[in-house]
Amino acid sequence: MAKRIDVSDLDIYYGNFKAVEGVNLSIEPRSITALIGPSGCGKSTFLRALNRMHEVIPGARVEGKVVIEGQDLYGSDVDPVDVRRQIGMVFQRPNPFPTMSIYDNVAAGLRLNAKKTSKSDMDDLVERSLKGANLWNEVKDRLNRPGSGLSGGQQQRLCIARAIAIQPEVLLMDEPCSALDPISTLAVEDLMMELKEQFTIVIVTHNMQQAARVSETTGFFNLNGVGQPGRLIEYNPTEKIFSNPDEKATEDYISGRFG
């Protein structure tokens, strides 16, 4: 299921403003790749460009190539809706659908796409996804209660269950733990370690310990100044980034001697 992502010469724009410039990297399947860097350097923008969520914003566009297992995501005959079915996303703030129950939230990916699924298949899928997100034991007795009644950490895991229920190839996570307490963060991190057996995971985080704990590979984004585009400074195995980085800027950022 998991697939390899190759990005070459990617420039990302908001209207005339170039937000990210010249990104080249390859993301290995069945691994966790972390993206770190200061605020406003384009990590999230880059992440959103990987499943064409970027273009939801009016005026936003992309130049360059993103290739998943030989398929160019920005090819002229590619439907962005199909891309997003293959590449799931978890957002910074938990956003379960407030009108739906816990069950319906997990089933939303299929239901909203009007895929005909039998009741028992759907029950299986919901159970498997919730188990996959380590949430099943906490909610199995109240699947028909509203999803917005859960705690923040549970809501975030519900969103992960919703994302993996459509069985994507790749899972993008945009600061998934920044709104969570340490215990919920730990739960989500454990979950990521399990999920990488099946998915390719890319995570944006401001928490460098988190990047060091969970990821195999780390990319450091930085920008030269306000109004300048962000760029990928260094892309290396996590161990190397945190012990002996190639670039001075990376070392400064990681050791807190930044700017």
Partner 1 sequence: MSTSTQQSSAAPETSAPSQGALGGHEKQAPWVPWAVFGAAAVLALGFGLLTSWNIVLFVIYTVVLGTLGTYVLSRVTEGPRKAVDRLVTCLVISAFGIAMVPLVSLVYEVVRRGAARFDAEFFTASLQGIIGPGGGAYHALMGTLIITLLTTLISVPIGLMTAIYLVEYGTGRLKKSITFFIDVMTGIPSIVAGLFAYALFVLIFGPGVRLGIMGAVALSVLMIPVVVRSAEEVLKLVPNELREAAYALGVPKWRTILKVVIPTAIAGLATGVTLAIARVIGETAPLLITVGITNALNFNPFDGRMATLPVYAYYQLTQPGVPPQDAIDRAWTAALVLIMLVMGLNVVARLISRLFAPKTSR
x/- mask, partner 1, residues 102-141, rule CB under 8 A, reads ------xx-xxxx---------------------------
User: Alpha-carbon distance 202 to 212, whole Å?
Assistant: 14
Number of CB atoms found within 10 A of residue 141's CB? 8
Determine if 99 is a binding residue for partner 1 (CB under 8 A).
yes
- Are 133 and 162 contacting, i.e. CB atoms less than 8 angstroms apart? no
Determine if 78 is a binding residue for partner 1 (CB under 8 A).
no
# binding residues, partner 1 (CB under 8 A): 34
Determine if 81 is a binding residue for partner 1 (CB under 8 A).
yes
E strands in the chain: 5-14, 17-27, 32-36, 60-68, 71-72, 87-90, 170-174, 200-204, 217-223, 230-237
Nearest CB to partner 1, comparing residues 95 and 236: 95
Nearest CB to partner 1, comparing residues 95 and 207: 95
Determine if 14 is a binding residue for partner 1 (CB under 8 A).
no
Nearest by Cα to 150 from 142, 72, 195: 142
CB-count burial class (<10 Å; 0-12, 13-18, 19+) for 219: buried
Nearest CB to partner 1, comparing residues 198 and 236: 198
Residues 6+ apart with CB under 8 A from 136: 127, 130
Determine if 193 is a binding residue for partner 1 (CB under 8 A).
no
User: Alpha-carbon distance 129 to 21, whole Å?
Assistant: 37
Span near partner 1 by CB under 8 A; candidates 90-98, 176-184, 215-223, 233-241: 90-98
Span near partner 1 by CB under 8 A; candidates 12-20, 27-35, 156-164, 209-217: 156-164
Q: Please give the residue ranges that form the binding site for partner 1 (CB under 8 A).
A: 51, 53, 56, 58, 81-86, 88-89, 91, 93, 95-99, 108-109, 111-114, 145-146, 148-150, 159, 162-163, 166
